[in-house]
Amino acid sequence: MSTNDKVHCVVVTPEKTELDTTCDMLVLPLFDGELAIQPGRAPMVGRLGFGMMRVRDGSTVTEWFVDGGFVQVTRQGVNVLTDRLLKAEQIDRKEAEEDLNRAMLIKASSPESLALKERSVTQAQAKIRLAK
């Protein structure tokens, strides 16, 4: 990617290619923070967290829920592999709050159940933040 180009972004889930677009900037939720990607970004690989992906093209910003996964930045563009990609308006706040309540009730009696509880709580909280 040269500094004069846009960022080419492809988002793939296990079912299909969910998004194939170009933009001025892409912001992704990493496992340990946020990553902003603009043209000319150095190549890298990162682990995605659960949260909001923002795609900015001109003055238009589109928000998506990213359900974990991985991101690869190359000189040709950005590849996002995630379990699920939802537009912010597809998220039902009440359903996300119910998911959080169910997640909080998970008994953490083993390392596996603790990991499941933490993942479920984090996913639900991210959806609630994104819900319109």
Alpha carbon of 67 to those of 22, 83, 126: distances in Å?
21, 6, 9
pTM score: 0.82
What is d(CA 51, CA 33) in angstroms, rounded to the nearest whole number?
A: 10
Domain spans of the chain? 7-88, 91-130
Beta bridge partners of 33: 30
- Tell me: domain 7-88, CATH 1.20.81.30, correct? no
* pLDDT tens for the chain, residues 1 to 132: 444 689 999 999 999 999 999 999 999 999 889 999 999 999 999 999 999 999 999 999 999 999 999 999 999 999 999 999 999 888 999 999 999 999 999 988 999 989 889 989 998 998 998 886
d(C-alpha 82, C-alpha 95), whole Å = 21
